[in-house]
Structures are given as C-alpha cells and as structure tokens.
Structure 1
C-alpha cells in the first residue's frame, strides 16, 4: 500500500510554532474599532455586579473596544479593590471635570470619551453606541501591530483640517490590559461574589502627540509587558487643559 504524506498548510505550521513559543497565533492586524466603551467599576460597589455581563457581551461584539477601568474610591467600605488603580480614578474625575460634573459614580460607561450613562443600563448604552455610529463615529483610521519586538502604530490623517487651539492637543496612548480575570470578593458589600472582568486597564502610557497628519509611532513591546497585563490597545484621544476628551481613533493589539 502506498502511503502519501499530507500537506500541512503553512499557516498551520506557524500556529504550532507560535503556540510552542507561548506567543499565540493571531492576525497581525486586528479588526477596525468603531467605538470605545470605558466602564468605570469597583469590586466594592454593589451596583457594579450588573455591569459585568454588559461588558462581557460588548467585548464580543465586532468593532467594539470594551475597556474595564477599576477605581479606588470604594476601598473604604472594607474591601480593597485588587485591580483598582489611582490613575483610573483620576481619569474618571478628569472626565467629570471636562463635563462640568461635580461627582463620579460606578458603574459608569463613557462612550468614545464623550457621552456617559449608568454602566448597567444596557438599553441606554446601546442607544449611545447607535447614536455615536450615526453622528460621530471614530474619524481617524488607526492600526497597530508587532514588528520585530516593537509595537508599531499607524495613524491616518484628520478627515477635515482644523485650527488647533493652544490649550488642546491630540495624543496617542498605549493601554496595557488584562484580557480576563475572575476575582473572589471576601468582604464588603459584595462579599462572596465572584466578579468576572474583561479587558482590565493596567496603565496608560503616552506615546506622543498627533498633529493631524499621517504618523507612525513605535515603542518596544516590553512597554506593554507591565505586571498584570497580557494584552494592549492604543487610543488617539483629544485633550484640553489636561482633561481627556473625545476619542478620535483606536486599535486593538493581537488577540483582542
């Protein structure tokens, strides 16, 4: 009997090599991002438990970049948030100052750096996403990939030129994140609950300022390899007087 050798596709070979190297096998460029949802939450907030499934569903939707941002101001209730970062608390407060709001809340969803709603209010959040897609979608094309142990970010041109204001600028940010994590909460209002998070932000690193013209930003891949992170995304965001504003573009890193 004659034996024939099966031909293994080159892509399958690469998958095996990637898996053995612990790198995963993913496309170099992820799908385009149409909208960004930032969910400010806390393990010590009883109301936040209803926002977790909303985020898990959003993270599975094509074109949606769903980011979880754990804050720290609920720690006084008896449970120290194991993922909370002061920088994320400050980001939420900066959003509030930009809107002229006096207080912050959890769970709170911010869509594309602008409109906000209660994070557990799924219908309201869906309406904001639909409105954003109709009236103000992310306007600047972006892509990000790994090349020779470096993260390479490509930013397109601004669709329509505008005169820059002296107190405003557009910035590119690298956002290391934890793709998924379950946390058992032992004390406080959510005692005994297991919180299941997706795309948990672990830091914000500024890569540079964007002038409105096509640009390329590079940073060592190690910049995203901070403790507790296993993925990354990039954001292009307008800021004014140091306060975050509208997100103009975004791109997902490999595996997201």
Structure 2
C-alpha cells in the first residue's frame, strides 16, 4: 500500500523528467527548401559582399548554402587557397546546361536552376521561391543517418517516377574558414568563408522511388567539419535541377 501523496509526488517527478528530456532533445532541422551554390574567388573584389550573403544563408536551417571557390581569377596576382578546378568545371557545366555562357563571380545558382548575382538578396529570395517544389520544399525527401562509421543516405519519393535520372553526391564542407589575402584585388583583407566545399564524391544513381546508399563516414567528411548530400538531376551529362538535399549535424 502507498500513500496518495507519494503517488502525486512520483507523478510530478515523472512529468518533470519527461519535460527535461524533451528540452534536451536536439531540434530537428527543417526540410531544405533550397540549395544555393556561390561561385566565388579570393581574387575578386566584388565577391566579399556575396560571401557575407552566403554566410547569412548558411545560418538558416531550411537552406543548404555552399561556397565553391573557383580558380580562373588566379592570374590576377593571388592564387585562391580554397579553389578547386572541379568547381570551375561545375560552374561552366551549369552555363552549358542553360545555354547562356554566363560564367562570372560572384554567381549564385539556386536549386541547380536559377543563376543570379551572389550579392543580390532580393533576386536570390525570388529565385528560391520560383524553384521550390510543392509546399515550398525540394520535391524529393533525402534523409541521413550515421552509425558505426557509415553514413546511410535514404531517398524517398512518394509518387514514384521512372523517367528521371539523378545522381547522389556527398560534399565535405568546412563550416567556416578565414583567409588573409596578401595580393590581388582583395589585398590586405581577411575574408571569412562559410560552408566551403572541399570536394565532391559521387555515391550512386537514382531513378525514382525509394533507395538507400552508404558511404564511409571518413570519406563523407573528407577531413572537413561536416558534409552535404545532393540529389541532382542529370541534364544530358550536365548538372540539372536539385531534387533533394540534406546536411549533417552542425552545418
């Protein structure tokens, strides 16, 4: 037999414990409504304002924001310390897919489709609205889980579509990196870059419906702070629309 007061005390403690547990649960990130890719360069005097815009977008849980430094301004007197030829190739491939030959810095590509000046906040927001799917989100769900040194990527499209082909990519990302620039147009400035991509690894191909892909955790991170997963349609071997995306915890 127990006393009524004891029962009330125990119930009170139980509810308090549940409330505390709820508070300690990490908040779930919103499903991404957009992927924004900024093609930037340490040798471009117009880029720092766009780098600041990208940093602001990177703080939004519903945006996957990426800096992709290019190398075609290196001849101006400063070799970009973060640039990668693959990012230059990616920007050119986007231009070929659009058939407009528009390759410049700072250029933002929204959801793999809309190009705009990287410092133009109004145009970026408009492009996000114009390229999001039903309900203001990317059309295909991409989930991430990590256990025992393996990242599992789940792709789930409720209405199965078999006439589209997409690729699954994993991109290691540095959350923040400051660079003192010694020469060129930005000489004497220290620019802080957000969500800097350090490589691109193709994980597999997706043709609609539900699928799972696995990649070792150390490969996904690539020595960086975290990683982003992109599900991107193929447009005759060139990059097409971003169909889905996810980012690791902490980005």
Task: Report if TM-score (shorter chain) is over 0.5.
Answer: yes
In 2, the alpha carbon distance for the partners of 1:162 and 1:213 equals: 8
RMSD: 2.7
Any unmatched runs of 5+ in structure 1? 1-8, 13-24
Give the count of matched residue pairs.
235
Cα shift at 1:28: 10
In 2, the alpha carbon distance for the partners of 1:206 and 1:249 equals: 15
Partner of 2:233: 238
Partner of 2:146: 146
Partner of 1:249: 244
Q: Deviation above 3 Å: which 4+ runs of structure 1? A: 25-31, 133-137
CA contact (8 A) 1:73 1:89 kept: yes
In 2, the alpha carbon distance for the partners of 1:115 and 1:139 equals: 16
CA contact (8 A) 1:139 1:158 kept: no
CA contact (8 A) 2:228 2:247 kept: yes
CA contact (8 A) 1:238 1:248 kept: yes
TM-score by length of 1: 0.84
Secondary structure at 1:96 match in 2: helix
Residue deviations 1:212-244 (CA, integer Å, cap 9, x gap): 0101111111112424x2210100000122210
User: Structure with the greater relative contact order (CA < 8 A, sep ≥ 6): 1 or 2?
Assistant: 1
Higher helix share: 2
Partner of 2:35: 36
CA contact (8 A) 1:30 1:251 kept: no
Superposed, 1:69-108 pairs within 5 Å as 69-108=68-107
Structure exhibiting the larger radius of gyration computed from Cα positions = 2
TM-score by length of 2: 0.86
Partner of 2:14: none
Any unmatched runs of 5+ in structure 2? 1-16
**1:243–1:158 CA distance, 2 compared to 1 (3 A):** farther
Partner of 1:207: 203
